[in-house]
Structures are given as C-alpha cells and as structure tokens.
C-alpha cells in the first residue's frame, strides 16, 4: 500500500503438468516421447524469474461421461483395453502403453482444470503441458500420435460446466487439427481457426472447408506452403484472425499450441522462431483481454526438436506472464508481400460472406 493506492498483486499464469504424462510410452525412435516434457521442465527450471510467475494447477482425470461428449463410447472402451498390454499399435504411427489411457484422461482433464482455473479468476491465463497430444484424435479413432482430443474436451467442459456460448479454438500446429474441426464443424458455438502447412499430414484443412450447416463460416482454414516464417504468421494473425475473433467475440480462447512450425523442427518445413511464437501469443492475449477478460488457455500439441520446443514454450510463457512484451505490428511488417497476398486473397474469396 502506498498512501491510498492499493497495488493489486499480479495473478500467476497457471501451469498444468503431471507425472502420469511421462508414463505414456511410445516405441524407441518415435518423435512423440516423454523427453519432450522433460526438456520443457528443465528449460523452465533455468529461469527463476519466469518460474516465480507461474502457479501450478493440479490435473484431474476426465471422466467417461465428459469424454463421451466428444468421443464415441466404443472407441473409449477400446482405448481402456490397451491397459492390458505393454504396447498397442492403434495406427501405423499412434501407440498406447499400459498407462496411456490413464495419461490421456489426465491430459484432457488437465485442460479442463486449466479452464476452471481461468474461469474462476484464480490465474491470469494457463498453459496445459500435456501428453499424449490431442488435435488429430477423431470422434471414433486415434490418429497422428493423438488418443483423446484434449482441446475439444476442454471446450465441451467450458460449455457444460460454465455455460459458455461462444468459444474460440486457434490451432497453430504445423499439422491441421482434423479431429477438432470435425467435432465442431456443424457447431456455430465454436470458431475454429487453423494455420497449418499444406500439403502435409493429415491432408485436410483446405481453404474451402468452412463448416457445415449451422456451423458454416465458423471453420477457418489457412493452409500455407512450406517456408512461412515469423513475419508471415504475424501478418496472418494480425490481419485475418484478429478481425474474425473480434467479430465473433468469444467468451474463452483455447489454443492448440504446436511448435513444429519452428525452423529447427524435423517434421515440418516452416521457418518460425521463438520470437514468432511470442508474437502470436501477444496477439491472442490482446484479443482475449478485449473479448473475454483475458481468459486464455493453451494446450501443448506438437514440437519435436527438444531445444526448439523448450525454448518456444518458455518464450510463450514469458509473454503470458507479461515478463516480455512482443511487438506484433513490427513483426508483421516484415512479412513477404507475395506470401501475405497468397493467403489473404484466398481467405477473402472463400469467406466473403460472414455469419457473425
């Protein structure tokens, strides 16, 4: 207290992590492994100023009723059955071990817990550092390393528990979030915006995929040729996504935060750096503060170069805690003019008529 002025303590940024996430075992040489989370933890441990601004949110396990809001019951039963074997191949690249379904339930529940903490005002915003990842998981099948669609579960939980009517999901992973799109493409209560490399797995996410029926116009796909970097991503978020979000006016912002667009990632072909992820975070923070009292929850998806992943997560958290303040307009001004026009012209052609 200084005279009659009371300085309100800054709320922490919430972090969700849990040892069970490390118990999801994939085969030797698989890109998605426990060392990803270990690298992030080690990197955050080397920055005490950042660590002091973080508050731990205990994860919970999503119950089957909650999971059934987005997944088929028969599929969940098949996932539960994987506990009987040391290793189960669900697809050519997606595996489960004895504790994988337990980890997946806690990963989805971790996003739910983050949503609850943000909605209660206990934290400023939150990042769920979870695995297995989720955005490729479809209603009735595993896909692309993903077992349960964590962000989709979080969105449905926000709707059911907190009564929200308009939720934004932004997916900046290098791969299209096919599972998330398909779960909400007929639902006007969710605006799904995805930037992703094209062509690339899983082969979905064309400009012309804009939603179905009452959800037409609330699916926004921005497929990008390889080679897009910080400036182009900043321009896309600043010039396309930001106006959409302000028009939609969501009550909560969820982010499928994949870091495989980093220039050092072995899977993608993009040119993003830690500075670019910080700018995208700053844009979304400003939008969340404008629309919904800053309610922003991120959930970890891809990112397979350990140093790039760890450094990028640290850069995002530095923005979320206001330890740093990125400058989106400055970065967007450095976008390649031809690359920027390619995306903007195709977006405007497809989304020339808006429903919100």
Which residues does the annotation mark as catalytic? Answer: 136
CA 81 to chain centre: 28
Q: Which two tokens stand for residue 132?
A: 């297995």
- Give which of 242, 89, 66 is closest to 157, Cα–Cα: 66
User: Where do the H-state alpha helices sit in the chain?
Assistant: 35-45, 48-51, 64-67, 73-81, 100-120, 150-162, 178-184, 230-236, 242-248, 274-292, 306-320, 328-332, 337-350
- Is 153 in contact with 131 (CB distance < 8 Å)? no
Neighbouring CB atoms inside 10 A of 58's CB total 11
Cα 272 to Cα 168, 229, 335, distances in angstroms: 23, 5, 12
Return all residues near 253 (Cβ < 8 A) that are at least 6 apart.
Answer: 168, 170, 245, 284, 287, 288, 291, 292, 295, 296, 297
- Is 204 in contact with 219 (CB distance < 8 Å)? no
Phi/psi of residue 143, each to 5°? Answer: -170, 145
- Give which of 75, 129, 58, 132 is closest to 99, Cα–Cα: 132
- ∠ CA 257-102-35, rounded to 5°: 50
Q: Which two tokens stand for residue 115?
A: 């949503």
- ∠ CA 306-24-62, rounded to 5°: 115
Q: Which two tokens stand for residue 341?
A: 């026009």
Cα 136 to Cα 51, 72, 222, distances in angstroms: 31, 15, 17
């Amino acid at each position: 207290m200084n005279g009659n002025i009371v300085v309100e303590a800054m709320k922490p940024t919430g972090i969700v992590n849990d040892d069970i996430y490390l118990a999801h075992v994939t085969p030797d040489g698989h890109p998605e492994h426990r060392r990803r989370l270990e690298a992030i933890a080690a990197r955050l441990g080397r920055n005490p100023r950042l660590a002091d601004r973080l508050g731990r949110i205990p994860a919970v396990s999503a119950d089957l009723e909650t999971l059934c809001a987005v997944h088929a019951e028969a599929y969940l039963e098949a996932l539960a059955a994987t506990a009987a074997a040391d290793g189960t191949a669900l697809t050519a690249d997606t595996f489960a071990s004895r504790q994988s379904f337990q980890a997946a339930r806690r990963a989805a529940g971790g996003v739910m817990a983050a949503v609850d903490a943000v909605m209660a005002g206990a934290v400023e915003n939150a990042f769920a550092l979870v695995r297995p990842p989720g955005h490729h998981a479809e209603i009735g099948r595993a896909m692309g390393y993903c077992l349960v669609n964590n962000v989709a579960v979080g969105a449905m939980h926000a709707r059911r528990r907190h009564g929200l009517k308009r939720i934004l999901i932004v997916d900046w992973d290098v791969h299209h979030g096919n599972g998330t799109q398909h779960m909400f493409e007929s639902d006007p209560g969710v605006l799904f915006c995805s930037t992703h490399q094209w062509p690339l797995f899983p082969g979905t996410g064309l400009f012309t995929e804009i939603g179905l029926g009452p959800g037409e116009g609330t699916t926004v796909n921005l497929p990008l040729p390889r080679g897009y970097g910080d400036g182009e991503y900043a321009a896309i978020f600043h010039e396309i996504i930001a106006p959409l979000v302000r028009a939609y006016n969501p009550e909560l912002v969820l982010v499928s935060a994949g870091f495989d667009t980093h220039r050092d990632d072995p899977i993608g072909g993009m040119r993003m750096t830690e500075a670019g992820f910080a700018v995208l975070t700053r844009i979304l923070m400003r939008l969340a503060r404008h629309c919904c009292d800053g309610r922003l929850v991120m959930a970890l998806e891809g990112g397979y170069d350990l140093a790039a992943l760890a450094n990028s997560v640290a850069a995002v958290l530095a923005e979320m805690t206001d330890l740093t303040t990125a400058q989106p307009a400055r970065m967007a001004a450095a976008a390649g003019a031809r690359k920027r026009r390619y995306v903007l012209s195709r977006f405007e052609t497809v989304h020339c008529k808006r429903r919100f």
